[in-house]
Amino acid sequence: MFFIVLLVLSFGADRFKARNSKTAEQLSIEEEAGAAPVIPYTHVEIYKELIAEKQGETAKNDEQVARRKQMKEFLQQTLGTTEINRIQLDDLKKALDQESNISRIKYRRQVGNFLTGKRKEIAKGEIIKQEHAHADNIEDAERNRDFGFHCLHYSVSEASGSLKIKILNKNPDSAKQVRVRTIDAEAIAGDDYEAVDKLIEFAVGQKEDLIEVTINDDDNWEPDEDFFVQLYDANSNIELGGKDTRTRVTIIDDDKPGQICFSDSKNIKVLGNEEECIVKIVRKNGADGTVTVDYETFDLDQSGHTATANIDYKPVQGTLTFL
């Protein structure tokens, strides 16, 4: 008799977001290229949904009917059957993700690769500092007449330590001041970077100056995150107008969280007189940061050939933490 132990990855929602973030054009290209159909569900969600149907649980609404239909079509196209009880959970996971890697929460925002929105993976500790979207490309009427940033979007790897940002003084005939201040977005001051709130003083004839923002590195995996740097009037602290008075900084994460999986992808057989079944869970292909994973046992189906909870085995559920 068999029962199933499921791993519900804390990154499962990321697969959903990443799949749904693809544009219609991208999906069309994939289909034309013969790629596997895209489905916005994890292997655990498919397994639990169709096992519930196998056990006689009726759909509660039209949306659930459509969801089950989509799942079965995916199984038929990728694994050649709609009988969920004949499919190994590991095989289903591989069908959903042939590379078996934990997906990123967001598509990498490498500027310049507009078609896919992705960027090349970077090595742990790699130093990257890039400029994108220079202010020169903005119409004169849309810029501030006195001050502005040289670049409107930077990207920097978290291992880089710091980033220098250039501020332009467009009328250097006299001495003047401008305030520069960082603003949190996904990136948080004190955690991902160190806040800056500084009064910049330009001497007569000085056309530019630099501020340096400290970038904090850690071993925890997280998506690429942004913060902003804004120019303000030195006296009133009001944000300066113009499209070149705010710049965006994207901090690129270089950590590798790895993959959580069973150490043995095949069925584990246990004799009826054995007191317990040991299921080993491993983390591979990276181990940066803390990762949690939920687990749960449930019956495969209600036939006489499978194990039944509280009769043949004691159901368990819980959470594992990989440090």
* 243-257 per-position pLDDT tens digit: 999 999 999 887 666
Q: What is the pTM of this model?
A: 0.51
Do 160 and 129 touch, CB atoms closer than 8 A? yes
Q: Where, residue-wise, is CATH 2.60.40.2030 in the chain?
A: 129-252
What is the percent of the chain with per-residue pLDDT over 90, rounded to a whole number? 36
Helix-then-strand count for the chain, H and E: 5, 14
- pLDDT of 210 above 90: yes
Mean pLDDT for the chain?
A: 79
pLDDT band at 103 (very low <50, low <70, confident <90, very high): very low
Topology of domain 129-252 in CATH is: Immunoglobulin-like (2.60.40)
pLDDT at 250: 92
Q: Which helix (H) or strand (E) is 27 found in, with range?
A: helix 24-32
Q: In what order do the strands lie in the sheet with 317-322?
A: 3-9, 291-299, 317-322
Q: Which helix (H) or strand (E) is 156 found in, with range?
A: strand 151-157
Residue type at 145 in one-letter notation: R
pLDDT band at 262 (very low <50, low <70, confident <90, very high): confident
pLDDT at 241: 93
pLDDT at 35: 43
First to last CA, the chain: 34
Cα-trace Rg, the chain: 27
Neighbour count for residue 156 (Cβ, 10 Å): 21
Residues listed for the chain: 323
For residue 84, the SS3 value is helix
